A and B are shown apart, each in its own frame.
Chain A
Amino acid sequence: MAVTVLDQAPNLGQLYAKAAVTARGRGGDLPDTRLARHGVQVDPAHLAAYARVCGMPLSDVLPATYPHMLTFPLQMALMSDRSFPLALPGLVHVRNRIEVLRAVRAHEPLDLEVWAENLAAHRSGAVVDLRATVSAGGEEVWRSTSSYLARGATAPDGAPQADVEVSVGGLERVVATWRVPDDAGRRYAKVSGDVNPIHLSGLTAKAFGFKRAIAHGMWVKARVLGALAGRLPDAVTVDVRFTKPLFLPSTVTLATEQHDGGWDVAVRNEKSGTEHVVGTVRPL
């Protein structure tokens, strides 16, 4: 497998544009390439902005979701490349699993590597896993799996069935109510660089078949972890399923339940009960 080392983070706006014009005529197998960056330093101002937008405490330890800020642009570069078999516009983030192997401090130089694997069949299309690993001083400290669904796409013959479900308890106890404002997508786009038009405004979201702009799943996940601040183990697995889109603006509730030294969580619409995110948080 070939590893390409980039010396800076790719520009996500340009990648979305490139992916849009090269969306047609994709297919075949996943590319046999990995993208990497070495010695990446976290920008303290960016970390502060991220923590603020996600409602997380700012400290010298990276939030569990923060390394995704570093690896996501590389994954986007991989997915927008012509060799990637699925068209980026219309890809839906359906599951995200993060494992923090140990607390990662904000000043540690980090080595990143991302790749795609496990193109699998799903009842409404094909699912691909975008993987990422982060190391510090040669030791793996963080890894993630982001599963994306391409509606209407077909997985190659003999592909396994996709596994995107996360099972949780009944989650009847609401512990917080959040008003999610209509600019939540723009705010997170500003710090994450994830300028996918479905998050930015009603108009741009409509162009992709959504009735209104929708919140970034990774933002919701980060907010959930913010609500559990102080009650998370250093080494932790956070596995969430993005079920139904969270339309902006909305009022949503967070329900939590203690399980196996960790938590089950659910974010639902306050009125309709529509489930946006369910997940598990477990000590590693």
Chain B
Amino acid sequence: MADTSKPATRKAAIVGGNRIPFARSNSAYAQASNQDMLTATIDGLVARFGLQDKQLGEVVAGAVLKHARDFNLTRESVLGSKLSATTPAYDVQQACGTGLEAAILVANKIALGQIESGIAGGVDTTSDAPLAVSDDLRRVLISLNNAKTVQDRLKALAKIRPGMIAPEIPRNAEPRTGLAMGDHAAITAKEWEIGREEQDELAVRSHHNMAAAYDRGFFDDLVTPFLGLSRDNNLRPDSSLEKLSTLKPVFGKGDPAATMTAGNSTPLTDGASTVLLASDEWAAENGLPVLAHLVDAQTAAVDYVHGGEGLLMAPVYAMPVMLARNGLTLQDFDYYEIHEAFASTVLATMKAWEDPAFCKGKLGLDSPLGPIDRSKLNVNGSSLAAGHPFAATGGRIVAQLAKMLHEKGPGSRGLISICAAGGQGVVAILES
């Protein structure tokens, strides 16, 4: 008898993507809000695929650094875009995993037949970042707001002290550990004995790969200029080992053997990205291409607070689960996109997959996942070159990889691995 409990599913197609060039914090996009950037990015996608006034199944996006007023950021962006105003939208947030998680959510609804098309995206600004009043001042202002009489209001106002006025600026630090993400990564780099030179090499390769990809026009149908920028302004085509080797460590300070510099770590960045997903039927009906399909995805989390695991090591745990479910090995892929939060993170991730003791003890595997062919890794550059607007990175990678697989030809496979704050990780498989 047929199993009727499991609904029939289909694989969601990736039609294409659009992003704006990424900009270093407080540069080209200093005056742009998350909503400005996300709206512009959606409109770029609309223009590219002729979606004007179309009602799509859903738009799913998010931002990591978010103003209180942006509670409905994605829906507001849709309303301001050229899409039909009857396109529903919702926000998600999974730190640096946001963009990829949004794509997984849209793909899953398509897979279940609940929607035929959708946009996944992400946006972040560290320039137009939300400042919060101090907790003390906030409490006084709330009681002021609740006060009914003039006397009560005066009483509330009298509680304000000069020291309360200083705003709280969001920090790229883990709330539970008080450590910057880079300092967490530095601990992992030390544990896995990741050297300075291999990190710098990875960073240089990222810049060179991305510069070459821009030069041959690879990004022409992935990126739309915004506010005078047509390329990521963090990109250094002339980056070299000599230059990077002069930089002083910025994370893991106090350790004479510290290795992580501003050159082999991603800078704070502003930007947005979107991906158009659909059923094969919808794409065909609308005369749109199918670059690849989102085959499967997996998340994992680690106890980086008291459990002794590195903050950014969760993708290492997610990977074997997803590979086993799909009957694949780590070597069965044509391209690997490992998000370069820090060069050391990419290197530690690969080292862990190659380590028999770690794979047995921590991942419960009889044999290690093994090495990755480096010539297939981040071949068109990754976050060290482009920059890393937290929630926008997933969309950049999905669109970029889908295009690479399409160029490679049918049956080619790509793997995505993204680490996120809070000790989380998201991995996914694309196939053309």
Instruction: Write the residues of chain A forming the contact surface with B, with a CB cutoff of 8 angstroms.
Output: 52, 173, 175-179, 227-228, 231, 256, 258, 263
| B178 interfacial by beta-carbon distance below 8 Å | yes
| Secondary structure call for the A interface | strand
Cβ B306 vs Cβ A177 within 8 A: no
How far is it, in angstroms, between the C-alpha of A231 and the C-alpha of B179 when the chains are bound?
A: 21
Cβ B308 vs Cβ A176 within 8 A: no
How far is it, in angstroms, between the C-alpha of A178 and the C-alpha of B305 when the chains are bound?
A: 14
| B55 interfacial by beta-carbon distance below 8 Å | no
Q: Which residues of B from 240 to 280 have beta carbons under 8 Å from A?
A: none
Residues of A within 8 A of B179 (CB): 176-177
How far is it, in angstroms, between the C-alpha of A244 and the C-alpha of B310 when the chains are bound?
A: 31
Cβ B306 vs Cβ A258 within 8 A: yes
Residues of A within 8 A of B178 (CB): 176-179
| Secondary structure call for the B interface | loop
| B177 interfacial by beta-carbon distance below 8 Å | yes
Residues of A within 8 A of B177 (CB): 175-177
Residues of A within 8 A of B308 (CB): 173
How far is it, in angstroms, between the C-alpha of A131 and the C-alpha of B271 when the chains are bound?
A: 60
Indicate with 1 or 0, residue by residue over B31-75, a CB within 8 angstroms of chain A CB atoms. 000000000000000000000000000000000000000000000
Q: Which residues of B from 300 to 340 have beta carbons under 8 Å from A?
A: 305-306, 308
Give the nearest-CB partner of A258 in chain B.
B306
Which of A173, A179, A227 is the one whose CB lies under 8 Å from B176? A227
How far is it, in angstroms, between the C-alpha of A176 and the C-alpha of B306 when the chains are bound?
A: 9
Indicate with 1 or 0, residue by residue over B135-157, a CB within 8 angstroms of chain A CB atoms. 10000000000000000000000
Which of A52, A175, A178, A179 is the one whose CB lies under 8 Å from B306? A175
Residues of B within 8 A of A178 (CB): 178
How far is it, in angstroms, between the C-alpha of A256 and the C-alpha of B135 when the chains are bound?
A: 28
Tell which of B135, B177, B179, B306 has the most Cβ of chain A within 10 Å.
B306
Give the nearest-CB partner of B163 in chain A.
A183
Residues of B within 8 A of A176 (CB): 176-179, 305
How far is it, in angstroms, between the C-alpha of A187 and the C-alpha of B200 when the chains are bound?
A: 46
Give the nearest-CB partner of A52 in chain B.
B135
Give the nearest-CB partner of A253 in chain B.
B178
Residues of B within 8 A of A179 (CB): 178
19 additional A-B residue pairs with CB within 8 Å, beyond A177-B179, A178-B178, A227-B176: A52-B135, A173-B308, A175-B177, A175-B305, A175-B306, A176-B176, A176-B177, A176-B178, A176-B179, A176-B305, A177-B177, A177-B178, A179-B178, A227-B305, A228-B306, A231-B306, A256-B306, A258-B306, A263-B306
Residues of B within 8 A of A52 (CB): 135
Residues of A within 8 A of B135 (CB): 52
Residues of B within 8 A of A231 (CB): 306
How far is it, in angstroms, between the C-alpha of A215 and the C-alpha of B347 when the chains are bound?
A: 42
* Pairs A-B, 10 closest by C-beta atoms: A177-B178, A176-B177, A256-B306, A175-B305, A176-B178, A175-B306, A177-B179, A178-B178, A173-B308, A175-B177
Give the nearest-CB partner of A257 in chain B.
B306
Q: What are 21 A-B pairs with beta-carbon distances under 8 A?
A: A52-B135, A173-B308, A175-B177, A175-B305, A175-B306, A176-B176, A176-B177, A176-B178, A176-B179, A176-B305, A177-B177, A177-B179, A178-B178, A179-B178, A227-B176, A227-B305, A228-B306, A231-B306, A256-B306, A258-B306, A263-B306
